[in-house]
Amino acid sequence: MSAHTFKANNPALKSFVEVKKDSDFPIQNLPFGIFSTSSDSTQDARVGVRIGAFVVDLAELSELNLLNDLDFDHSVFYENVLNPFIELGQTNWRATREKVSELLQIGSDLEKQLKDKNDKVLFPIEEVTMHMPVQVGDYTDFYSSIEHATNVGKMFRPDGDALLPNWKHIPVGYHGRASSIVVSGTDIHRPKGQIKPNDADSPIFSPCRLLDFELEMAFIVGKSTSLGDSVSIEEAENHIFGMVVFNDWSARDIQKWEYVPLGPFLGKSFASSISPWVVMLDALEPFRVASPEQDPKVLDYLKYTKKHNFNINLEVDLIPQNEEATTISKSNFKYLYWNMAQQLTHHTVNGCNINVGDMCASGTISGKDENSYGSMLELSWGGKKTLTLKNGEERKFIQDNDTIVMRGFCQNENVRIGFGEVSGKILPAK
């Protein structure tokens, strides 16, 4: 489906809600999330849509009979995760985004109603708490950036080929830990574990000394499959609800000691952080781009003909305690060698079933030049180089009380569609 077929994507649309020019959330975006008003407990968390600096309460819109066109049980808007709403299927997500778009346009029924009465439909973003948008059943992390895989290969296996022989044939991935995926703003304690310092003969137990972020994005599965079924590459995007920015926190010293032969375990499973607003793939349509050419040719089940990549600018800030932010990386989702359709197709080719709410992360998204590397491991080249921050402090890896902020946004001459940010602060080990 092309961009113009979604009325809600029309760049000419204007909302009666003020949206600043540099906002990630114009009326053409309308991402979904779970919020509660500050006086509420998480029991009162419910479904909201973001516009400008406001959250639109979908449960309240339903109460006001403004969503009567939506022909499904509106109890999904009172749930504290998006899963039941997503379960309703692509036709209903699309209808909901289109209906909310109509209601937010100048001259809408909602604008008239808000003038007449003092209904509490719009909440300033600073007055709400954002929660995990979905219950994540399973989480898979891919490794789809050729620049990142090459950089890590050079550092971890200096004497061999940077890329392993399978890398250009398989979207490499591993099964991660769903329970420790947290929403932006959640503090993370420095993990502890087994590390083996270079000068030691045997491992020691220690707080991680080489703590890192990984700049990633993740998609959220929107349509389940049955055990034994596979999703074709043509169908794959119909199984995706939307995307978030994803920080895959990584303990490099724990990872290095444990990862052979079965891959990452405790070096990754202590936490991953996500941005709270799920941007529907539909909203990203104007920013579709071709992927890098794949050579050698991939097997038939991974071959694709359409554009499956998106031009999404990504940035990482490091903020020492009580200091200003330094932007330490600028990358782009479009650099990824393997696209989401290939990832999902490969994931299910063996008959593995997927469920609504499952999360699939891209792997660290690095670009070609040194300022576009998506991890401290690469930015400091394994600790051999030093990053200098705006306040003169230096970093090779993340220190206690540092905050990492990642942002994602698409921008063309007509519209900016963004994800907001995912932020997380590292506290000392417990």
Q: How far is the CB of 365 from Ca ion (least distance, A)?
A: 10
The span of 104-112, 204-212, 240-248, 320-328 binding Ca ion (CB under 5 A) equals: 240-248
The span of 25-33, 134-142, 205-213, 294-302 binding Ca ion (CB under 5 A) equals: 134-142
Lateral strand order in the sheet of 122-124? 122-124, 54-57, 46-51, 32-37, 128-131
Angle at 215 between CA 386 and CA 27, to 5 degrees: 130
- The smaller minimum CB distance to Ca ion, of residues 248 and 253, is found at 248
- The smaller minimum CB distance to Ca ion, of residues 140 and 291, is found at 140
Q: Does 141 bind Ca ion (CB under 5 A)?
A: yes
Of the candidates 66, 105, 95, 350, the one whose C-alpha atom is nearest the C-alpha of residue 231 is: 350
- The smaller minimum CB distance to Ca ion, of residues 319 and 361, is found at 361
Of the candidates 69, 102, 143, 120, the one whose C-alpha atom is nearest the C-alpha of residue 338 is: 143
Q: How far is the CB of 216 from Ca ion (least distance, A)?
A: 6
Any bridge partners for residue 35, and if so which? 46, 130
313 burial level (CB within 10 Å; 0-12, 13-18, 19+): middle
- The smaller minimum CB distance to Ca ion, of residues 35 and 333, is found at 333
Q: How far is the CB of 363 from Ca ion (least distance, A)?
A: 5
Q: Does 24 bind Ca ion (CB under 5 A)?
A: no
Q: How many residues bind Ca ion (CB under 5 A)?
A: 3
The span of 85-93, 139-147, 179-187, 303-311 binding Ca ion (CB under 5 A) equals: 139-147
Q: Does 212 bind Ca ion (CB under 5 A)?
A: no
Q: Does 378 bind Ca ion (CB under 5 A)?
A: no
Report which secondary-structure segment, H or E, holds 284.
helix 281-284
Q: How far is the CB of 312 from Ca ion (least distance, A)?
A: 17
Q: Which of 98, 248, 253, 421 binds Ca ion (CB under 5 A)?
A: 248
Distance from C-alpha of 280 to C-alpha of 285, rounded to nearest angstrom: 9
Q: Which residues are catalytic?
A: 148
**Locus of tokens 């590390």:** 195
Q: Looking at residue 127, what DSSP letter applies?
A: G
Distance from C-alpha of 240 to C-alpha of 283, rounded to nearest angstrom: 13
The span of 10-18, 35-43, 72-80, 212-220 binding Ca ion (CB under 5 A) equals: 212-220
Among positions 36-75, residues that touch Ca ion (CB under 5 A) are none
Distance from C-alpha of 253 to C-alpha of 243, rounded to nearest angstrom: 30
Q: How far is the CB of 221 from Ca ion (least distance, A)?
A: 18
- The smaller minimum CB distance to Ca ion, of residues 248 and 402, is found at 248
- The smaller minimum CB distance to Ca ion, of residues 214 and 358, is found at 214
The span of 241-249, 273-281, 282-290, 329-337 binding Ca ion (CB under 5 A) equals: 241-249
Q: How far is the CB of 362 from Ca ion (least distance, A)?
A: 8
Q: Which amino acid is at 80?
A: N
Q: How far is the CB of 279 from Ca ion (least distance, A)?
A: 20
Any bridge partners for residue 404, and if so which? 318, 424
Q: How far is the CB of 267 from Ca ion (least distance, A)?
A: 10
Tokens of 269: 């499973």
- What residues contact residue 177 under an 8 Å CB cut-off, 6+ apart? 139, 268, 269, 272
Q: Does 214 bind Ca ion (CB under 5 A)?
A: yes
Q: What is the DSSP string of 141-202?
A: EE---HHHHHHHHHHH-TTS-SS-TTTTTS--EEE--STTEEETT--EEPPEEEE--TT-SS
Residue number of the CB atom closest to Ca ion = 248
- The smaller minimum CB distance to Ca ion, of residues 141 and 358, is found at 141
Do 7 and 94 contact (CB within 8 A), yes or no?
no
- What residues contact residue 305 under an 8 Å CB cut-off, 6+ apart? none
- The smaller minimum CB distance to Ca ion, of residues 214 and 258, is found at 214
Give the up-direction half-sphere exposure of residue 179: CA atoms within 13 A in the CB hemisphere. 3
The span of 5-13, 116-124, 207-215, 419-427 binding Ca ion (CB under 5 A) equals: 207-215
Q: Which residues bind Ca ion (CB under 5 A)?
A: 141, 214, 248
